Structure 1
């Protein structure tokens, strides 16, 4: 009989809670999902209610315990895979002083400009601060969405809230606090602050970086390893979750750190592509790499021996959610076609993506010349521009909804190709790509990304659960069941393999070149229409 653990995948719009059995393999026993809101504000703000996240965690934990028929006493540990670079500011009692500022929040332009984008510059960053930052942290806070500028935004715009701050946490660290009463931050989250000193023998927040970027170092918590047992479940938290007090809680990691582990792509040179609400291309590297021009950096991973060379697209699957809401099932009741999918609204929600993909399966490669750009909330890589937006290009009188929806999937894949090509300028990304996330559930999407990249694509079983699976691996390492995260690779089963269609790739090569030109040719227009002073 194996060991049972609970893993929480804390996403942008919902949490997935999974029970895994760890033995000779890692088996999913039960899962439950609960959504919460992402509050988008006109000034570029993107916030979440921390109580909504905690309540969703409690609700789903009850559900998986009940549906699995596994008693809470048999749960040997819990951990987290979470969205990263959120800003959760809490007081001495562990209570949030304001709502979470999401990684998508982009209102801190003035704070970033005044903090690092002044004087003599390279790639828009002060050259002296750039050099010093890279030497100390291996990265630079060059994006308006980096949490250090959100912190400074609160300091400048909400002084009363700033006075209440005891500690700065990331999203999963807030949930760890709710579970254990411990104020901690894992190394990968600490790296995401752009204040973490990665130099040999340091493993701490840098006083120099804090001074340079205007941060009170006393606001930063203790740093722990991903596989560390950071505390035990308190009586209060155990009651809320329906678990046993004293259950070990492990540090876990951010999604950028753990999804590659859950994908079975954790060895040096392994490349995976993730398509969920956000999307990215990530390659495991031994040494730090940084590309300031393409906004790609080496992120500290859950394994101390490696980094993840990471390129992010913030609105990937979010674009498909937009399609669902406004093209397929919109506010004026225009559907793809008048059919009854189900009498249950819940079933409609679950099946509508499949329905959309079934409807567009016969649209040819290139979507009859229509191109979509997936920058619905700005973009970070391979160009940083909070003013960039999505568009449909080259529509004609014959263009229909099916063309538009098909073009959205292709546009996401074109952007991921752009990021993969940028990575290959600096590292040897693998020729065979592991493709994971909810997007990997659809064979059509898997084939399109294979055709667009010209690469062999591999998927794994339950690709939508790889974040939680990565967190389960961390518990296994923490409990001593596995020696390291690489040992989990042999326990993760491949599902399907896709090979590129040569004729389709020729069409995509043409459209891809046009796709890249759309940003260059419209950059100034984006600024005119969307810049907020």
Structure 2
């Protein structure tokens, strides 16, 4: 049988058709717009997502036997607030994960409600991108819209609803709402009260690999699917990507260099760091994970290449850079959209530091790639302080296609970096969750062991890792030095 993974990203949806043995049979993508109504705001229309998914499903299945599709699941951009009225109509555009309008509400949660209370209720503190501060913002700034709410959903869950008619979510994605008791896997009554949220507004909770329903008969007929095609709950994009790279079970790590950047550490046990610098979330394998999230990662490099120096030839800009790794005197703070882990500062901004008359364009390009890597290490240091010991990490995302960036990550983190056969992290992970939901595999770990293959390994070089240790010690002093200016 075949399985479909739907990766609902920020700029596009990517749909993947996977055979039961893990073979990727087809991949298509469809873009949709993102809107910035004001500085720091970021929105999308859920209707655009659904139109793109419908068109993408038709293209994905062209030339294939749709009757062989046994299940569908999702990886999705996290934290976005989708609100439906009593007729299940979208009330307003979705407020996205990288939206920075909720500084006031986030501060109220952290400072007035208190970080200790939040951590006790949800295992996390408030970040500007989380869903709960967005709800508070709507309640305060758009009371007419808040009064119409009948259902609250996350982005991928809107697509699941359109497919099945069921209001559902999974624990990994719900972990980022600041409404879920992560440790006990239930909605937090205290947080619902604080945010003015009725429990009836919230979707039913499922493990990522559990079926939530089947494709609606009329839609199944339109797509050529069997009427009993299973839809599984799916996962937040980072958890789905972790499944797609085999980062499941105890003590495995994945670094993602996408629009945002993450370091993701899977665990069989629940744990929280004392500063709540890392997110403590449920994982798509039914267990737990810690995650550090940067708001801008490979997107920093894209901004620099596309918008500033005006080139698409990324490889040419990196040519010759390897000879000067660990010796760059120019640094870059990668906070173009503010920062989440570990600083939790929506007002932070990007900055070049250390330039001189002999600084070159290549130095600045290198500084951007290194700055993102140093930002990932900031979160890794928090994990190390918890006693977590790692000797390797998987890597995925658009930035991971760069051999130079993989080498930087290996030496800046001083970890063996493993690249897997498929570059389709969240989409492949979503298809694997669908396969587990349909009984193709007994567990997510079994699916990962069978499907995910390491094809390349980058070992850290002791001399280069030592150079980068000195560079990192300089980098980690920069944000505290300029924080007051932000």
Indicate whether 1:313 and 2:294 are aligned: yes
Which residue matches 2:98? Answer: 104
Distance 1:266 1:252 in 2: 15
Q: TM-score scaled to structure 2, two decimals? A: 0.94
Match of 2:156 among 172, 193, 197: 172
Which residue matches 2:11? Answer: 13
SS of equivalent to 1:322: helix
Which residue matches 2:271? Answer: 289
Which residue matches 1:522? Answer: 482
Indicate whether 1:185 and 2:169 are aligned: yes
Distance 1:418 1:311 in 2: 9
Which residue matches 1:31? Answer: 27
Provide the aligned length of Structure 1 versus Structure 2: 485
- Quick one: structure 1 residues 254 and 429, their matched pair in 2 at CA, closer, same or farther if it must change by over 3 Å? farther
Indicate whether 1:480 and 2:464 are aligned: no
Which residue matches 1:90? Answer: 84
| Shift in Å, 1:404 | 1.4
SS of equivalent to 2:270: coil
Indicate whether 1:378 and 2:338 are aligned: yes
Which residue matches 1:121? Answer: none
Which residue matches 1:339? Answer: none
Equivalent pair of 1:360/1:403 in contact (CA under 8 Å): no
SS of equivalent to 2:442: coil
SS of equivalent to 2:152: strand
The structure showing larger relative contact order (alpha-carbon pairs under 8 Å, at least 6 residues apart) is 2
428-437 vs 81-90, which moves further: 428-437
- Quick one: structure 1 residues 363 and 51, their matched pair in 2 at CA, closer, same or farther if it must change by over 3 Å? farther
Q: Deviations over 1:17-38 (max 9, x none)?
A: 1100113xx1111101222223
Unaligned runs of 5+ in 2: none
Unaligned runs of 5+ in 1: 119-124, 330-334, 336-347, 527-533
| Shift in Å, 1:138 | 2.5
| Shift in Å, 1:363 | 5.3
33-42 vs 515-524, which moves further: 33-42
Indicate whether 1:490 and 2:471 are aligned: no
SS of equivalent to 1:290: coil
SS of equivalent to 2:104: helix
Indicate whether 1:139 and 2:100 are aligned: no
Match of 1:449 among 379, 386, 409: 409
Distance 1:356 1:78 in 2: 40
Indicate whether 1:228 and 2:213 are aligned: no
| Shift in Å, 1:239 | 6.5
Which residue matches 1:326? Answer: 307
| Shift in Å, 1:396 | 1.9
Q: Deviations over 1:286-314 (max 9, x none)?
A: 2222225252132011222x211111111
Which residue matches 2:189? Answer: 207
Distance 1:400 1:28 in 2: 42
Distance 2:276 2:475 in 1: 16
| Shift in Å, 1:419 | 1.1
SS of equivalent to 1:483: coil
Distance 2:381 2:403 in 1: 23
Distance 1:239 1:523 in 2: 56
Equivalent pair of 1:9/1:16 in contact (CA under 8 Å): yes
Q: TM-score scaled to structure 1, two decimals? A: 0.86
Distance 1:414 1:32 in 2: 33
Equivalent pair of 1:276/1:437 in contact (CA under 8 Å): yes
Distance 1:514 1:53 in 2: 43
413-422 vs 36-45, which moves further: 36-45
